[in-house]
A = this chain, B = another copy of it.
Amino acid sequence: MTEGHEADAKAPVAAGAPAKAPTIRDVAREAGVSKSLVSLVFNGGENVSEERRQRVLHAAARLGYRPNLVAQSLSSGRRDLIAILVSNLHNPLFADIVAAAKSRLSEAGRRTMIISAQVDDGSGERVLDRDNIAVLRDLRPSGLITVGTIPDFEELAELTAAVPTVVASAIDATSDTVATVRVDDDAGIGLVVDHLIGQGARSIVFIGGDGGTVSASRERAFISSAARRGLGAGARVERADFTQAGARLAVGRLIAAGSVPDAIVTVNDLSAVAVISALEAAGVAVPAGCRVTGYDDTTLSAIPRISLTSVDPDNRRIGREAAEALLAVAAPEAGVDPIPRGREVLIPPTLVVRGSSTV
């Protein structure tokens, strides 16, 4: 209330020149209190008189003060920062997960920072971005969410041992991982196989299985799904990695062997597109000559010319649940122990049926 402060000298916010950012000390001086009191006010300290709190808040506003996160992190060790480490920038799929996780975390009042885990080394190989990880470690986040499969995940052991970690949309778990949240591949592949059988398919080939734990998981799901449906010899696996090239090769082998199946189940949408291209290049029409399904329900699959039947993993829910799992253990305060570990949350997917699998 004390109106009429003679403070108009200092401009309220921007000073034009790159003036040094105000520190807690400046605020203390401006408010006529000690550093600690300012710190208290900004950290929700209960025991501060209303009058001083206002003085501090006003002084801070006048100066445009904002706490320095780096200093906070250095000083206090733990901080309310939660890091989201996203596997790579190439897959828009992850963006949905990140957005959902971040949004849930913000609701809970937690700060987050989003950084990339992976980088193409010159040769196009994707490797762990150690610089980024180092910064992340030194920032001492109070929690970590990884999104997507991260190369050389074991190198993060140091980090995951020190920081409660939730793995989203990957099977990278280490012994320290708090929880893994991912789509239920058994259910997803099951939906696909049921749908295909419903469409009259009797011989079905799965293309995928190489190139990572997720790919392998989907292969296993396919094998058990097919067995459960009594597909017998009608079900086969043609190994391929996640890439378009791999899928193309796999189709090549099928064509060469003269054994084009009724349907092909692929490990993801990108593979599916490659499979469709390869089939059509070989003169096999899709879906007439062979039905094809994808996985992930990316924007690709909805394009009319592609119109790909695909499994929607509900990425927003994956992100949300990952955040939830982390919030459950990474309370801003409270030495929450013992931490439950190794929980696996499987999100039930849905099947989006489109033209590539229906005649």
How far, in Å, is A126 (CB) from chain B's closest CB? Answer: 9
Copies in the complex: 2
> Which residues of B lie under 8 Å from residue A102 when comparing CB positions?
119, 129
User: 1/0 contact trace for A69-106 toward B, CB 8 Å?
Assistant: 11101100000010000101111101100110011000
Determine which of B66, B113, B129, B305 lies in contact with A276 in the assembled complex, contact meaning CB atoms within 8 Å: B305
> Which residues of B lie under 8 Å from residue A129 when comparing CB positions?
102, 114
Tell me whether A306 and B303 are in contact (CB under 8 A): yes
Tell me whether A281 and B304 are in contact (CB under 8 A): yes
Tell me whether B90 and A90 are in contact (CB under 8 A): no
Bound complex: CA of A189 vs CA of B185, how far in Å? 45
Determine which of B71, B112, B277 lies in contact with A138 in the assembled complex, contact meaning CB atoms within 8 Å: B71
Tell me whether B131 and A68 are in contact (CB under 8 A): no
Tell me whether A115 and B112 are in contact (CB under 8 A): no
Contact residues, A293-330 vs B (CB, 8 A) = 300, 303-306
| A83 closest partner in B (C-beta) | B135
Stretch of A44-52, A157-165, A211-219, A255-263 lying at the B interface: A157-165
How far, in Å, is A262 (CB) from chain B's closest CB? Answer: 21
Bound complex: CA of A340 vs CA of B121, how far in Å? 30
Tell me whether A90 and B88 are in contact (CB under 8 A): no
Bound complex: CA of A66 vs CA of B155, how far in Å? 14
User: 1/0 contact trace for A132-146 toward B, CB 8 Å?
Assistant: 101100111000000
Given A103-B121, A162-B18, CB of A277 within 8 Å of CB of B304: yes
Tell me whether B119 and A132 are in contact (CB under 8 A): no
Tell me whether A113 and B95 are in contact (CB under 8 A): no
> Which residues of B lie under 8 Å from residue A94 when comparing CB positions?
89
With an 8 A cutoff between CB atoms, is A111 at the interface?
yes
| A98 closest partner in B (C-beta) | B89
Bound complex: CA of A281 vs CA of B140, how far in Å? 53
With an 8 A cutoff between CB atoms, is A1 at the interface?
no
Bound complex: CA of A335 vs CA of B6, how far in Å? 37
How far, in Å, is A158 (CB) from chain B's closest CB? Answer: 7
Tell me whether A132 and B103 are in contact (CB under 8 A): no
The 4 closest A-B pairs by CB, nearest first: A89-B95, A99-B120, A70-B138, A114-B116
Excluding A70-B70, A280-B305, 18 further A-B contacts by CB distance (< 8 Å) are A14-B158, A68-B74, A68-B138, A69-B135, A70-B138, A86-B89, A89-B92, A99-B120, A102-B119, A103-B121, A112-B131, A113-B132, A114-B129, A115-B115, A115-B116, A276-B305, A277-B304, A277-B305
Question: Can you show 23 pairs from A to B with CB atoms below 8 A apart?
Answer: A14-B157, A18-B158, A18-B161, A18-B162, A68-B138, A70-B73, A70-B74, A70-B135, A70-B138, A70-B139, A71-B138, A89-B89, A89-B92, A89-B114, A99-B120, A112-B132, A113-B115, A113-B131, A114-B116, A114-B119, A114-B129, A115-B115, A300-B300
